[in-house]
A and B are shown apart, each in its own frame.
Chain A
Amino acid sequence: MSTAIRDLDDAPAEPAVNYLNASYGIKSWLLTLDHKRIGLLYLASITVMFVVGGVAATLMRLHLVEPQGALFEPETYNKMFSTHGIIMVFFFLVPSIPATLGNFLIPLMIGARDVAFPKLNLMSWYIFITGAALALYGTISGGVDTGWTFYPPYSSLYAETHVVAVAMGIFIAGFSSILTGLNFVVTIHKMRAPGMTWFRLPLFIWALYATSLIFVLGTPVIAITLFLLALERLLHVGIFDPAVGGDPLLFQHLFWFYSHPAVYIMILPGMGVISELVTAFTRKKIFGYSFVAFSSLSIAVISFIVWGHHMFVTGQAIYAGLVFSVLSFLVAIPSAVKVFNWTATLYRGSVSYEAPMLYALGFIGLFTIGGLTGLFLASLATDVHLNGTYFIVAHFHYIMVGGAVMAYLGGIHFWWPKISGRMYPDMWARISAAIIFLGFNLTFFPQFMLGYMGMPRRYALYPAEFQVLNVLSSAGASILGIGYVIPLIYLTWSMRYGPVAGPNPWKAKGLEWTIPSPPPTENFEEIPIVTEEAYNYPAIEAHHYPDAPGVARVWDGSP
């Protein structure tokens, strides 16, 4: 990578022509084939969806301040939590890191000029937007009250809301996932720069490769399932209706066959981001590269055979319960391996605490809690008590928000200088990371206790003895909300007023940091030749600081 490193110093601070200003006008964005611009189109769209889902969550928490409900009729509350779940899962979390950072970074990280199929990439965005528009139409024009899980026969025969419109929105958006996954798989297989072997790939690429496999293999199942649900509602084909010989549990099997792997669609890319952040801010190779890489793949594979752990209390056979329980414990192991490796990467590192690193450390802590509380639910006897309660809500928010959203924000903060060419105020970013961490824990930790106490989820009204913990949770949610608004403000501000970042403000390794910020449309003037493995920090340090000693300090065991 010697050429690449030379570029780093030779590049101008802010290139006169880059992908952002190469062409102007709304048309140049809506018809762009540039993977970086498409990444930004996704960024804008999912930010809108995040705001919609976030407003719904805020209203829910406000409502739950009082046992009798402070704001809404139960009917409206039910639409709120359904909207929140559907928007956040299908239209924010699933596309979040893959479609924004993945689109932006995969070609940059592997040394390519674009993804394998740029037109397909743009089409995926249009498909996503169509699906999102349909889902938004459904939720605004009357709402949907089935929860994001759409269980029949409630959703098929009893709900009187816009189930078909929203389900079809998800169905359509699913094709965006499938095509994006396909695009990424082919790109990673075929477009790597010379010398970029599989085991020189950044771990972010490994994580997105695993995610893309789930996109391609899992998403068709949810598409079929929701299509069947729409058929059932419109034509009453009876597949989920027990009165005519159908089986409502069949839906749950099909739904979770996708939706459990979908959990890993949401968390695996986050794990990839964390591997990048931890190495960059410790200036070290990742501890156990191949263990981290293969844990991503094994998570992707095992995730397809654990769906039954969502159905321990549906009356499924006791032996099915046993098998799904043991497999669910199994999927915990590779996640634990990742946490230990990230932590060990800090050992003897040169650790600094810019905002992205704070998000990364927050992720490791919250993901640890989220993962360990998963053991309560893989354990059959405790799952019987906790299933369907707030314990579940707390557990998956620790993974989805404490994990996936923290990683997403950490990634956005880390690559923002590359995306925008500008720096944001680091102090504000650190403050907001701290606010998010505290607000998050205050929101969701009390929900573990509520669940153990026995409070079921999706309750618009609740018995008075649960009020104290609910008020605490709502207080946390308002802090969390503030924490999310601050980055929105300073990141927007920085695009115009932030100081110029330069090609590599973090002095990080990786091909994306060898080119100007913002990158030119064609990414690399010359396709780089890769000669070393990922995260080879000693090399870059020796280059930057030729006088620096090879070893800064040796740990002598003293505190």
Chain B
Amino acid sequence: MGFDVLATVPFQPPAASSIAENVDTLYLVLSGITAFFTVLIFSIIFVFMVKYRRRKEDETPVSTHTPLIVELTWTIIPSLICAVLFVWSAALYVQNGRPPASSTEVFVIGKQWMWHLQHPEGPREINELHVPVGVPIKLTMTSQDVIHDFYIPAFRVKKDVLPGRFTSLWFQATETGTYHLFCAQYCGTNHSEMIGWVYVMTPTDYANWLAGGEKAESLAQLGERLFSQYGCDNCHVPEGNGRAPSLVGVYGKPEKLQSGETRVVDESLIQQAILTPNSVHLPNYQPVMPTYQGQIDSDQMLELIAYVKSLGSEERNGK
């Protein structure tokens, strides 16, 4: 391993993403508030313990009444502190939750008990993720079996990885180095071995790493081949005059379904359309598409999704 001089100091995790410092500042302020009130309560108790200790067995303390102003003070001050904390932490959360449009997408599949990572350019990794420093990376994640959770402590990011749907998280690494990758949702016997490493590299190193691996086709290319292999292109023709709607440019757009519901075409909807087409079919088309449940594994699903997404971007680029 030989990397973790930093990590042997057991009090501060490395802070290596664009949001880490902001989260740490909030953490520090929260720690300060905790320390302040803990010390306050402990010292008041201590002072009262000594000052008002029972000196004679028969003493009767004076009755103190309860002034409303005191009760209001210690109701309102904590409320104000909580209000400030809420606004601050929520603003940070909302801000940290939105990946920049320019993000590079990497697919993640969790399964008992390993992480599959799939770069758009083609390389696949297991329990390792290589990323360039300074580039926003968006992870689109799903699980093949139980619920997992993708957690990189050094980046202060974490998101559950669910079966049957897609979740995403994003980060922008700011320091080159090697960082822990953990599964943070209990997933069975070898949960604690579902761990790996994130390698943050300089752009040059990253380019070399990409070039150095075996030459693989990109995800979208693989998806395109599957698309014709399964005969999808017989009906989903680009011009839109086939038996099925054209998929060009649909990704990210709202579609009105036969059921009347309007849904944005995202990874989950594409998957649903492939596995249970009749549940999302469009009003102007016959429900003739067969289900591909059990025929397409989750790697292939990602490839198909990547292909459909690439159709969208061509359309947008064309305009």
Contact = CB atoms under 8 A, between A and B. Distances in A.
A291 B30 CA distance: 26
Nearest to B89: A379
Given A458-B186, A463-B180, A549-B60, 20 more contacts: A74-B190, A78-B188, A145-B189, A151-B186, A154-B146, A154-B188, A283-B61, A315-B162, A315-B167, A347-B48, A350-B54, A352-B54, A365-B42, A375-B30, A380-B89, A380-B90, A384-B23, A449-B10, A454-B154, A552-B60
Contact of B192 (A288, A339, A462, A551): A462
A346 B62 CA distance: 11
Interface stretch (B33-41, B100-108, B255-263, B303-311): B33-41
Interface stretch (B91-99, B114-122, B210-218, B244-252): B91-99
A548 B58 contact: yes
A78 B191 CA distance: 9
Interface residues of B, number: 88
B149 interface: yes
A449 B156 CA distance: 15
B273 to A, nearest CB: 14
B159 A315 contact: yes
A376 interface: yes
Contacts of A336: 74-75, 78
Contacts of A469: 10
Interface stretch (A35-43, A94-102, A182-190, A317-325): A317-325
A557 B26 CA distance: 38
Contacts of B7: 463, 465
Interface in A520-559: 537-538, 541-542, 544-545, 548-555, 559
Dominant SS among interface residues on chain A: helix
Interface in B59-93: 59-64, 66, 70-71, 74-75, 78-79, 82-83, 85-86, 88-90, 92-93
A379 B192 contact: no
B62 A381 contact: no
B164 interface: yes
Contact of A465 (B8, B27, B38): B8
Contact of A375 (B10, B55, B82): B82
A249 interface: yes
Interface string A347-372: 11111110000000100110011001
Interface of A: 74-75, 78, 145-147, 149, 151, 153-154, 157-159, 242-243, 245, 248-249, 282-285, 287-289, 291, 313-315, 318, 321-322, 325-326, 329-330, 332-333, 336-337, 339-341, 343-344, 346-353, 361, 364-365, 368-369, 372-373, 375-376, 378-382, 384-385, 387-389, 449, 452-454, 456-463, 465-466, 468-469, 537-538, 541-542, 544-545, 548-555, 559
A348 B64 contact: yes
Contacts of A387: 158, 184
Contact of B189 (A74, A242, A313): A74
B145 A158 contact: yes
Contacts of B183: 456
Most buried by A among B27, B85, B86, B165: B86
B33 A372 contact: yes
B45 interface: yes
A284 B54 CA distance: 12
Contact of B60 (A146, A283, A291, A365): A283
B288 interface: no
Most buried by B among A248, A340, A553: A340
B49 A291 contact: no
Given A154-B147, A388-B184, A468-B10, A382 B158 contact: no
B276 interface: yes
A149 B86 CA distance: 27
Interface in B171-197: 180, 182-193, 195
B37 to A, nearest CB: 6
A71 to B, nearest CB: 14
Nearest to A559: B51
